[in-house]
Amino acid sequence: MRYDLPDLRLVAAIADCGSLTRAAERVHLAASSASHRLTQLEAALGVALFERHARGLTPTAAGESLLRHARQVFAQLEQMHADLAPYADGLHAQVTVFANTNAINCFLPEDLGSFLREQPRLRVSLEEQPSPAIIRAVASGQVDIGVVAAEPGVAGLETRPYRRDRLVLIVPVEHRRAGRAALDFAEVLAEPFVCLHAGSAIHTFMMNAAAELGGRLDVRIQVRSFNAVVRMVAAGVGIGMVPAAAAEAERRAGASFAIVELVDAWAQRDLQLCVRSRAALAPAAAALFEHLAGSSGAASGNPELPGD
C-alpha cells in the first residue's frame, strides 16, 4: 500500500472543491494526472473514496475516514514546521514543561517571563496537566520539567521546592458561611459550585476529593479561569475552590467575596519541581530548573487568611 502527501492533499482538495478538475488546479496537477492518482489510491486501499455523480464527487464513508486522518497529518506537519522555524532564526533550545492549574495560573507567568526576558533565543512549551499525569510524563522522559503538588508519587524523581500555597473556599459576601474562618470540605458538598472546566487539573482534583467523601459536586457552571470563578462567586452564582494566591490576587484587584479556609489536609498544595535527573538535563532545561527553584525564595503565595 503506497501513497504519499500529494495523494492526501489531492483527496482533501477534492473533498473541499467537490470537483476533480478544480481540485487538480488547486494542487497544481493536470486533470488527467489527478484522476490517475485518485484511481491508483483507491486501488491501493481497496475501497472507493468518492461517489461520482453528475454534480461532482462526494466522499464515501471511507473517504471521510481518510480525510480525517489526512487533516491530522497536515496539522502535525504544520506544527513540525512551526517548531523548527525558530531554529532557522537562531533559536538555541526548547524546554518542555508540564504544570498543574495552580502553577500555571498563579506563579509560572511571572517566573517564566523573567527567565525568558533574559533568554531571547530559548522557547518554552508549557502544558497544563494533573499532577499524576505530569509525574508519569517526567518519569518517561516525555517532558523536561514538571511542576506538581507535593505528593508521594514523585518517588524516583529529583525534586526541589517551588512555591507554597493551599486551596481555599470562596463564597459570596452574603453567603451563610461567609463568616466562618474555616470548615471541612464535607460541609459544603451540597452547595452549588463554580468550577474550572472539565479536564483542568483542579477540576479533576475536586471531583476526586468529593468522591473520596462518598459524594459528588453540584457543578452549577464551569468557566475557563480563576478570575472567572471569582467573578461568578462574587455575583452569587455559587461557591468555588481556588488557590489562596489566586484568591488574594483577585481580592487585591477589587473583587468582593469571602475567603474560608479548608481544614482538610489535602488543601495544603505546596508545589514542587520534578525532573528525572538534574545532571542529565540539557543546559537550557537545567538553567530554567535552577531559575524556578530559586523562585521558591520569593513571595510564597501563601497569604494570611481569616483564621491564620
5-88 topology per CATH:
Arc Repressor Mutant, subunit A (1.10.10)
pLDDT tens digit sequence for 206-220:
999 999 999 999 999
pLDDT tens digit sequence for 63-94:
999 999 999 999 999 888 877 776 665 556 88
Q: Which three cell numbers stand for residue 73?
A: 497529518
pLDDT tens digit sequence for 178-195:
999 999 999 999 999 999
Q: Which three cell numbers stand for residue 235?
A: 455575583
Q: What is the rounded CA–CA span in Å between residue 225 and residue 230?
A: 9
Q: What is the pLDDT of residue 170?
A: 98
**Cα dist from 245 to 53, 104, 262, 305, whole Å:** 63, 12, 14, 10
Task: Let me know if the fold of 5-88 is the same as that of 167-265.
Answer: no
Strands, DSSP E only, in the chain?
50-53, 56-59, 93-99, 122-128, 145-149, 158-163, 167-171, 182-183, 192-196, 218-223, 239-243, 258-262, 271-275
Return the H-helix or E-strand segment holding 62: helix 61-88
Q: Which residues of the chain have pLDDT under 70?
A: 1, 86-92, 151-153, 297-308
167-265 topology per CATH:
D-Maltodextrin-Binding Protein; domain 2 (3.40.190)
Q: What is the pLDDT of residue 122?
A: 85
Instruction: State phi, psi for 261 to the nearest 5 degrees.
Output: -70, 145
Q: What is the pLDDT of residue 198?
A: 87
Q: Report the Cα 21 to chain-centroid distance in Å.
A: 42
CA dihedral 16, 21, 22, 24 (to 10 degrees): 80
pLDDT tens digit sequence for 17-43:
999 999 999 999 999 999 999 999 999
Q: What is the pLDDT of residue 155?
A: 78
Name the nearest CA neighbour of 205 among 102, 299, 71, 300: 102
Name the nearest CA neighbour of 92 among 281, 285, 292: 285
Cβ pair 238, 232 in contact under 8 A: yes
Residue range 93-164+269-297 forms a domain whose CATH class is alpha beta
Q: What is the pLDDT of residue 1?
A: 60
Cβ pair 54, 46 in contact under 8 A: no
Boundaries of every domain in the chain: 5-88, 93-164+269-297, 167-265
